[in-house]
């Protein structure tokens, strides 16, 4: 992929995430702060559990 394509896809994805967060906020009535804290917890869990597992090789 060309850099321009990557940037366009990233921008489009970001816009979709923002739209989803706006919808979630409207439906749930949560504050921006509450959503931010929830997203921080989600990101932390994702980083913790999405790390590639170490593979040990036997000689």
Task: Please give the chain's pLDDT, 59 residues, in tens.
Answer: 788 999 999 999 999 999 999 999 999 999 999 999 999 999 999 888 887 666 666 65
Evaluate whether 13 touches 23 at the Cβ level (below 8 Å): no
- Structural domains in the chain (count): 1
Centre a 10 Å sphere on the Cβ of residue 35 and count the other Cβ atoms it contains: 15
Q: Is residue 59 part of a domain?
A: no
Helices (H), the chain: 3-28, 32-49
Q: Is residue 57 part of a domain?
A: no
Flag whether 35 is in a domain.
yes
What domain range includes position 10?
3-47
CB 35 within 8 A of CB 42: no
Answer whether residue 55 is part of any domain: no
Maximum Cα–Cα distance for the chain, whole Å? 57
Judge whether 43 lies within some domain.
yes
């Amino acid at each position: 992929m060309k850099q321009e394509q990557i940037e366009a896809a990233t921008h489009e994805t970001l816009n979709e995430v923002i739209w989803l967060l706006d919808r979630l906020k409207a439906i749930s009535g949560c504050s921006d702060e509450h959503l931010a804290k929830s997203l921080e917890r989600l990101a932390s869990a994702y980083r913790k559990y999405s790390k590639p597992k170490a593979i040990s090789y036997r000689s």
